[in-house]
Amino acid sequence: MSTIRYELVSATVQRAYSLINYNIHTDTHKRHEFQKQTILADKLLTDDEKDEAIKHITKAYDRDKILQNTGTKRICENCNQKCLATLYCEYCIRNYLKEEFSHWTSGNDNIDNLIQKCQMESLMPNTIVEWIPYNNLKNIKYLTKGGFSEIYTADWIGGNYDEWDSKKQLLKKIERPGTQNFVAGVVLKKLENVESANQSWFEEAKSHLTMNNECTEIVRCYGMTQTPSNGNYMLVMMKMDMDLRKYLQQNNERLTWKERIKITFEITNALYWIHDEKAIHRDLHSGNILFSQFNDRWYISDLGFCGPADKSSKSIYGNLPYIAPEVINGKGYTFKSDIYSVAILMWEISSGYSPFIDYKHDDYNLAMDIINGMRPKIMSDIPLEYKSLMVQCWDADPLKRLDIESLLNKIGEIHLSYQNMPNELFQSKAKSNFETKTNTNYMSSSRLFTSKIHQFENLPEPKNAIEGQEAFHSKTYDFSIPDNIEDFNNSNDQKINKTSKMNTSSKSLSKIFKTLKINSKNEIQNNYNYKKETIQHVKGPCIDDDEIHNNPNLHSEEQDEFEIPDG
């Protein structure tokens, strides 16, 4: 077998997804066949690489058929059950896992039952959650304090399950030619206060493990482990490349609107699947939006980890600039408070800077200003449709904000219209779109907000500011992003150069988004809605994340400097 160029395989799979025409490929079966033929017609891949690419899209196809209970069933030659998957039998996998129950234990009945339940609902071999013995983790190193969780990096010897061997009737770990034991780079997140009578730590662990199956847009959780020395439980998570905050710092000057809208779309899509599971994130900010360089995809992390397990019920936990005004005022978190956080992220993506980064007052004053309608100053030349969505979603009245489904539809329309435009249309406009007001010591003197506990009292009801007073302005120094990011502090004053707004006259694009709609996991209606059955590519190509993130040839040297930000 020839050497597989996994990066090229991934790019080909991504291309096959991007070329889908939803007016023609109207269901998951037609889309899979189109992707398969696109891969087979690719002239850059070897036959082995084509087989690898087809295997990846078939994994996604099998997963979606089981999840949606659609497609032609076959009789499994081993268990005689009617199964939907073709690369494996979902029933054989679950039977195998059930037989293994007696061979492992966490020592905690609740955790054992949780992991066993997740395994009995497994959709595919490489998303199975496990109890991971601590002695299988090597080179454990303390990384940082992420909010109220200690974060470590480690090497997981053997890695996760990858494939089902139908002949031997067992699950196989990841294998690489010439390698005796595959090593997966992982992140360990310590669960705090597990001895407390407050069982919120368990609910947080449950959120990650149970959503791991269906929601591929959150950072993958492989399972749990326990430190023998002190009995602390830890989540074992996929190691990502960098967070949105750092990504914008490094790439802001070269990002086009096409790329910024793509980031916004993927974040919105990820939150859609979280809300679809009736879960609220509660702490969305740029520090827990994480990027996979190889997949070129954005993921949401820290689901449910909204502060210490024993925090007071009267307090709120989060990154203040991203917290909705009604939450600051004690009304509690809702789906619409997550939408507010997305709006602030939309502003951050549009500007390249953290919100209120040079705000000089204390948290109480910022909380008061947010409640009274202060929002970050909107950049010039922002696409009008994007601006309109952002402003609506940070309205002081939660009822006036869009729900996640409506927001995803609208962002999806903008995203598709931009993806259909050639890159060269954006290159000359990238910089002028992101001029802002700041001073020459912006980065060194700015304030970095992190997630922490807040408790405010006697605050007024949230309201929108009157026109002309709603924006937080940095000090009035003209600044334009330089050609070289290293020359950031040497930038000269520039005048804002307004560029043309996005053309919204394409009615044909809107028709695409009105063609199909998923009303449930099993039904298709006429109206495009970015649901699981309709937009398979939104869930992303099923590239094996482990072979990607642990292939040393696919990472820059910066991978070793990966950081998980506070909060």
Q: Which amino acid is at 280?
A: I
Tens digits of residue pLDDT in 224-269:
999 999 888 999 999 999 999 999 999 999 999 999 999 999 999 8
What is the model's pLDDT at position 176?
Answer: 64
Phi (first) and psi of residue 195, to 5 degrees: -90, -5
Cα-only R_g, the chain: 24
Separation CA 157–CA 143 (nearest Å): 19
Q: ∠ at Cα 296 (295, 298), nearest 5°? A: 100
How many Cβ atoms sit within 10 Å of the Cβ of residue 57? 23
What is the model's pLDDT at position 33?
Answer: 94
Q: ∠ at Cα 426 (422, 429), nearest 5°? A: 165
Separation CA 368–CA 388 (nearest Å): 24
Tens digits of residue pLDDT in 500-520:
333 333 444 334 333 333 333
Phi (first) and psi of residue 206, to 5 degrees: -60, -40
What is the model's pLDDT at position 178?
Answer: 55
Q: Which amino acid is at 323?
A: I
> Residue 547: which pLDDT band, with cuts at 50, 70 and 90?
very low
Q: Which amino acid is at 531?
A: K
Give the ranges where 69-199 is alpha helix by DSSP (H).
Answer: 90-99, 109-119
Phi (first) and psi of residue 346, to 5 degrees: -60, -40
What is the model's pLDDT at position 505?
Answer: 38
Separation CA 355–CA 244 (nearest Å): 13
Which of 510, 481, 475 is closest to 496 using CA atoms?
481
Q: Read off the pLDDT of each residue in 390-399 and give the average, rounded to a whole number.
A: 97
> Do 490 and 482 meet the contact criterion of CB atoms below 8 Å apart?
yes
Identify the burial level of 142 via C-beta atoms within 10 angstroms of its C-beta, where 0-12 means exposed, 13-18 middle and 19 or more buried: exposed
Between the alpha carbon of residue 238 and those of residues 123, 223, 441, 549, the distances in Å are 19, 10, 36, 8
Separation CA 89–CA 101 (nearest Å): 19
Separation CA 458–CA 34 (nearest Å): 59
> Do 174 and 162 meet the contact criterion of CB atoms below 8 Å apart?
yes
Q: Which amino acid is at 395?
A: D
Give the ranges where 352-505 is alpha helix by DSSP (H).
Answer: 363-371, 384-393, 404-419, 424-427, 442-445
Chain CA centroid to CA 240, Å = 11
Tens digits of residue pLDDT in 32-65:
999 999 999 999 999 999 999 999 899 889 998 9
What is the model's pLDDT at position 449?
Answer: 66
Termini Cα distance of the chain:
45
Q: What is the dihedral of CA 316, 321, 323, 326, to 10 degrees?
A: 100
421 versus 356: which is more confidently predicted?
356
Instruction: Please state whether 352 falls in left (phi above 0), alpha (psi between -120 and 50) or beta.
Output: left
Which of 207, 448, 457, 186 is closest to 309 using CA atoms?
207
Is the model's pLDDT at 403 over the cut of 80?
yes
Which of 403, 389, 460 is closest to 280 using CA atoms?
403
> Residue 302: which pLDDT band, with cuts at 50, 70 and 90?
confident
Tens digits of residue pLDDT in 421-475:
766 555 434 444 444 444 333 343 345 567 667 677 778 888 898 754 555 544 3
**Strand 375-376, strand 289-292: pairing:** unpaired
Q: Which residues pair with 375 in a beta bridge?
A: 471
Q: Read off the pLDDT of each residue in 144-149 and give the average, rounded to a whole number.
A: 72
H or E segment to which residue 511 belongs: helix 507-515
Question: Which 3-state string (H, E, C) describes 298-326?
Answer: EEECCCCCCCCCCCCCCCEEECHHHCCHH
H or E segment to which residue 350 belongs: helix 335-351
What is the model's pLDDT at position 297?
Answer: 87
What is the model's pLDDT at position 141?
Answer: 95
Is the model's pLDDT at 357 over the cut of 70?
yes
What six digits make up the tokens of 54? 């087809």
Q: Read off the pLDDT of each residue in 335-364 and give the average, rounded to a whole number.
A: 91
Tens digits of residue pLDDT in 87-138:
999 999 999 999 999 999 999 999 999 999 999 999 999 899 999 999 999 9
H or E segment to which residue 68 belongs: helix 47-68
> Do 164 and 155 meet the contact criterion of CB atoms below 8 Å apart?
no
Chain CA centroid to CA 289, Å = 6
Number of H helices, E strands in the chain: 17, 21
Tens digits of residue pLDDT in 180-216:
678 889 999 988 665 554 566 777 788 888 888 778 8
DSSP, res 218: B
What is the model's pLDDT at position 479?
Answer: 35
Is the model's pLDDT at 537 over the cut of 70?
no
> Residue 18: which pLDDT band, with cuts at 50, 70 and 90?
low
> Do 337 and 280 meet the contact criterion of CB atoms below 8 Å apart?
yes
503 versus 293: which is more confidently predicted?
293
Computed over every residue of the chain, the mean pLDDT equals: 77
